[in-house]
Amino acid sequence: MKKGKSRNKRKKTRGRLLWIAIAVIGIAAVISAVCVAAISFVLILSISGCSDAPPEENTVLETVIDVQDIQEESEEDADEIISICIDLYEKAEEENKLADLETIRSIVNRLGENGYSAVDSKNQIDMTEPEQVTNFCEMVDEKEEAEISIIEVSYLPGFVKYDLQTKDGNVDVVRSYYKYENGNIQRNTTGSYQAEYWNYTEEGYLMFSGSWYSEELYILTLSGVEENTALRVQPLDETCRILTRKYLTPIGFEQNNMFIVDWSEDDFGDLNFYDMYDILYPKVNGQYVPYVADDNLSASAVYQIPKEEFESVIMRYFNIDSETLQSKTVYCSENSTYEYKPRAFEEVEYPEYPYSEVVGFTENSDGTITLIANVVFPYAVDSKVYAHEVVVRPLEDGGVQYVSNRIIPSEDNYRETWHTPRLTAKEWEELYGGE
């Protein structure tokens, strides 16, 4: 089992994505039903990440415990857990609030009141009974024997029960997912594995990973499933959590570089305003961007967006004038439009992303707020890829303007393996210019 700080160096290349797409298209007629079932099954389980290793390398380590005994004990314990929180699920279902944050908080706290270490799957609620987890981690380091159960309450709804046992420094995991549906909570699937990576980080996260096996999933995938788990153990100031949800989560890291590059209102640097348009358009207009990619993968659509339409989206969230915005985009002065090219197939990203977590903030005299955030990447089992400083300007109408982003220098910073930038003008011309 690997311990210490881990970095995920498995960069997903465009070429690899292209070959995967070709392969999938080639066999879709034969196994489409199986693929749909497998994808649905994985989504239900909230599995974080899939292995990109060749099949022969994606093996499941044998555990050193009697998994059958642990599963039976886990099932008995699960009955007690279900009886503790079933009424909260029933009430939430009646109120149509099963995925509501306060519903999840009430379930986590109820479990804590009954002595369980519990946390939510989005790490937005302080873990209950965290001392049990830190004590278990100490036993792992000391190579003593110990066991613990940790409940991860999902927003699906349901919960994952991790039954952990350690001996000689190894950690064996039995993972059971329980799904709430129609007034009942039932076990959906159970898998077991020995943790290949285990680390209780300086940032207060318990992170572990491994490949687990279940009979149900093996029928669909013919392999084990790589799981990367990140559970925040140490508490975090609730104001930090609110600031995260209000200002950082709505932007995120999917298909944009807003929190990856340095920029400010004085110099927007390499901030890509086309990516920002894609993200901000639904927030302004209440619907997805209507300018979509061409159905033909060998072609690329090009649109001319009226000046007022494009600027109304960007200027809602940035203090930027027309001249500056035009200099950062392709603007056609003849007809007062912005040229817009939707992301093409070559610009897709591997669908595993980190999230920013505010760990400190300062309210400035000019009305802005400076946020200090860590980038947490569960897929890479890394609780601090890097730290960055974001300045926001809350508006009187409840809106916000983003003022700047700065990566905080550190020799421990790691590059953003998840991001694929938009094609440059030269790259686009080479691919589609002859059409």
Tens digits of residue pLDDT in 61-109: 455 555 555 556 667 789 999 999 999 999 999 999 999 999 999 999 9
Specify the pLDDT at position 429: 87
Does pLDDT of 249 surpass 50?
yes
The pTM score is 0.82
Section 393-416 average pLDDT: 95
Specify the pLDDT at position 120: 98
Does pLDDT of 325 surpass 60?
yes
Specify the pLDDT at position 432: 83
**pLDDT top residue among 345 and 243:** 243
Task: Report yes or no: 116 and 151 within 8 Å, Cβ to Cβ.
Answer: yes
pLDDT band for 300, please (50, 70, 90 cuts). Answer: confident
Does pLDDT of 20 surpass 60?
no
Specify the pLDDT at position 180: 97
Specify the pLDDT at position 220: 63
With a CB cutoff of 8 Å and minimum separation 6, the contacts of 294 are: 300, 301, 344
Tens of pLDDT, residues 128-167: 999 999 999 999 999 999 999 999 999 999 999 999 999 9
Mean residue pLDDT of the chain comes to 86
Burial class of 327 by CB neighbour count within 10 A (0 to 12, 13 to 18, 19+): exposed
Residue of 432, 416, 434 lying closest to 344 (CA atoms) = 432
DSSP string, 307-358: HHHHHHHHHHHS---HHHHHHTS-EETTTTEEEE----GGG---S---EEEE
User: Positive or negative, the Cα torsion across 378, 383, 385, 388?
Assistant: positive
Residue of 48, 74, 66, 67 lying closest to 162 (CA atoms) = 74
Specify the pLDDT at position 214: 65
Q: Return the minimum-mean-pLDDT range out of 42-46, 221-225, 391-395.
A: 42-46
pLDDT band for 22, please (50, 70, 90 cuts). Answer: very low
